[in-house]
Amino acid sequence: MKAGIFFTGTGPILLLTSYEAFDDPNLVEKLNTKGIRKYIAYEVPKEKVKEKYGKQYNIILGDLKQSDDLRVLDYDGHHVFYNFSIKDVGEPVYHES
């Protein structure tokens, strides 16, 4: 299970996914169906996400299938951006259709 901040045309969103990589073709296809065709994604530590989102994290995680799935944990860009330190994010993954 991975957590990531995805910077999209409408701002950052926080996703939980069972895909192994943020550029997995199946994940890219799912995001495409949601209108997200271009993004920069950064992995964030699951522990930090759980710490920040608590019960909401557990509810969303409980609804997440163990393979090939994703859930939006937070779509309030301002909240997502300021909830995590830039020092906590991983290397960027760039995608453009």
Extended beta strands in the chain, E state = 2-8, 11-17, 38-44, 70-74, 92-96
* Residue 19 DSSP one-character state: -
Q: Could you tell me the residue range of the domain that residue 78 belongs to?
A: 2-96
Tell me how many domains the chain contains: 1
Q: Which residue has the tokens 């964030």?
A: 44
Is the pLDDT reported for residue 65 higher than 70? no
Per-residue pLDDT reduced to its tens digit, 70-91 = 889 999 999 999 999 999 999 9
Per-residue pLDDT reduced to its tens digit, 23-53 = 999 999 999 999 999 999 999 999 999 999 9
Round to whole Å and give the CA distance between 56 and 58.
5
